[in-house]
Amino acid sequence: MSSNSNKKKLEKLIDYIDYDYVDKVNTDSIVDITITSILSDLDPHSTYIPKDAIQEVTEEMDGDFIGIGIQFFEVEDSVAVVRTIKGGPSDLAGIEPGDRLVYADDNPIFGEDFDVRLLKTYLRGDSNSKVNLKVKRPSEKELLDFEVTRKHIPLKSVDAAFMLKEDLGYIKINRFSKTTYSEFETALKDLATQGNSNLVLDLRGNGGGYLKEAIRIADEFLKDGELIVFTKDNKGKIKETYATGKGSLEQANVFVLIDQHSASASEVVAGALQDNDAATIVGRRSYGKGLVQREMGLGDGSAIRLTVARYYTPTGRSIQRSYKNESAKEYYHDFMDRYKNGELVNKDSIHLNDTLKFTTPKGKTVYGGGGIVPDVFVAKDISYKKESLDYMLKGGILDRFIFDYLDKNRSYYNNLSLEEFMEQVKVDEEMLEAFEIFLKEFKLEYRTQRYKELLKLYLKASMARQLFDTNVYQQMLSTEDPIIRKVLAIYDGEEIESQTP
């Protein structure tokens, strides 16, 4: 621990700058920069959270916030409702997709001078407090008045849960928040009523979160007494966590999907199931983050997330990528090198360290030293056209086009049932041409011919997400998902399971 004199030295420096420096300086920002610099010298994952960001970070990890339950776009000079959360305050009050919010408690929330970042201050507040909204609905001449009661709005971490086959369910988790296990449990119960006995657990793109929630989910798949994970702190103290006997999927055929963005708590789950021979891991090598952070308040509303331990999988693997003698920039650049060295398209390009070789109880070889290597590798399509299409899907361009497209006939689309939508709505050539014209407004060129059918699927899935929910969206996309198709081929006995390099 630093000596008291060194701590006082830092305090004196700040005081000298505050009182004697020739120009006026914001010493708060100097402190923030100093803290950030100190943490960056420790490891890539110890971070500083300024007080103006702490609420948003806390809400994401807690899994809810207090608000009115809408998703919105900033359209021209107004706030347009994309979707209301089913059963949420705005839905119950009668607000509809396509409505423009004009006033909140007589405060204008439109116009060129309105800063959309202020919207939270008007729409969020204490639980059960009320906000009076004036809304412009395209089909009505006059503004409509709504009194909306603010409530806790869930930030769901389970994106989707549906059946891939009559006995094979699918659950996608986007992060591990405080509510993840309860969401997962609810999803499992719902799938069980549909005949589910086996499971695909999708952790692609899941950057982690609460270790406790990941452990509880891993426990569902492991037998009583099987090691899930162990951590080791700076004093060498080891804390082991074992499975209990309450797992509901201990006899299930399980597939865990990972990719290069699956990190931390996701790697705990994948590593625990792989090391205990409880699942087949499918996809691409995971991120490689094996450090445990603890959030610590600094007394002024800000906080740090400080690395306090390393975690290890049951066979003793550390999944953490090397970061010694590397700047944060170099560390993250090393991750991007996976695109350049061919690892995303060829399993033979994955660099494996033979000195970090481990063996599972059933004799399978697994490797430490930087991410979870899948049992079954599935290459990423990195062609320019496909990458561009994926970028548009995830970057919001498709969603914005779809919102404008739906806005032209809201009364029709808002009244469709899911069954009617699937049967009646078709993505035709006229819609594809309209999308190409839309892209040109953003100085983007995209010729649709090579990926026409996939683009049609993406467009209709994006419509479904705005009209219904992410579950329908994910279910539609799953039909053309290469990793899911690989899983189904293995499940149906068409391909062998293990392709571990």
Q: What DSSP assignment string belongs to 153-211?
A: EE--SEEEEEEEETTEEEEEE--B-TTHHHHHHHHHHHHHTTT--EEEEE-TT---B-H
| Strand pairing report for 198-202 and 254-258 | parallel
Residue 304 CB neighbour total at 10 angstroms:
18
Distance CA 276, CA 221 (A): 10
- Cα end-to-end distance, the chain, whole Å: 44
What does the pLDDT average to over 251-271? 96
Residues in a beta bridge with 33: none
- Greater confidence (443 vs 290) lies with 290
Distance CA 454, CA 460 (A): 10
Residues in a beta bridge with 312: 230, 318
The tokens describing 140, both together, are 């009505």
Distance CA 7, CA 25 (A): 21
| Strand pairing report for 280-283 and 376-377 | parallel
The tokens describing 229, both together, are 């994970």
Q: Where are the domains of the chain?
A: 4-41, 64-154, 158-377, 384-468
Virtual torsion, Cα 377, 243, 308, 350, nearest 10 deg: -10
> CATH number for the 158-377 domain, one of 3.90.226.10, 3.30.930.10, 3.30.365.10, 3.90.1150.10?
3.90.226.10
- CA nearest to 372, candidates 271, 289, 462, 283: 271
Q: What is the pLDDT of residue 499?
A: 52
The tokens describing 96, both together, are 């509809």
Angle between helices 4-20 and 27-40 (to 10 degrees): 140
Q: What is the pLDDT of residue 106?
A: 92
Average pLDDT, the chain: 90
Q: What is the pLDDT of residue 6?
A: 76
Angle between helices 397-407 and 452-467 (to 10 degrees): 70
- The least confident of 116-125, 349-358, 368-377 is 349-358
Q: What is the pLDDT of residue 279?
A: 98
275 included as an active-site residue: yes
Helix (H, G, I), strand (E, B) or coil at 311: strand
pLDDT confidence of 327, banded at 50, 70, 90? low
Distance CA 297, CA 310 (A): 21
What does the pLDDT average to over 10-15? 84
Residues 6 or more apart in contact with residue 100 via CB below 8 angstroms: 75, 78, 79, 80, 81, 110, 135, 136, 137
What does the pLDDT average to over 269-298? 95
From the candidates 43, 202, 259, 275, give the one annotated as an active-site residue.
275
- The least confident of 99-103, 132-136, 339-343 is 339-343
Is residue 335 over pLDDT 80? Answer: no
From the candidates 136, 151, 289, 347, give the one annotated as an active-site residue.
289
What does the pLDDT average to over 386-397? 83
Query: Is-contact 458 466, C-beta < 8 A?
Result: no
- CA nearest to 54, candidates 263, 307, 295: 295
What does the pLDDT average to over 68-88? 91
Residues in a beta bridge with 173: 158
Distance CA 460, CA 450 (A): 18
Q: What is the pLDDT of residue 2?
A: 55
Residues in a beta bridge with 294: 306
Distance CA 70, CA 461 (A): 19
Asked whether this chain's domains 64-154 and 158-377 adopt the same fold, the reply is: no
264 included as an active-site residue: yes
Distance CA 284, CA 286 (A): 6
Give 74's DSSP letter: E
Read off the pLDDT of residues 191-220 as tens digits, 9 standing for 90 and up: 999 999 999 999 999 999 999 999 999 999
Ramachandran sector of residue 317 (left: φ over 0; alpha: ψ -120 to 50; beta: rest): beta
* Cα distances (angstroms) measured from residue 256 to each of 25, 172, 199, 266, 487: 52, 10, 8, 10, 10
* Angle ∠(483,489,495) on CA atoms, nearest 5: 110
CATH architecture of the domain covering 64-154: Roll (2.30)
From the candidates 46, 78, 90, 264, give the one annotated as an active-site residue.
264
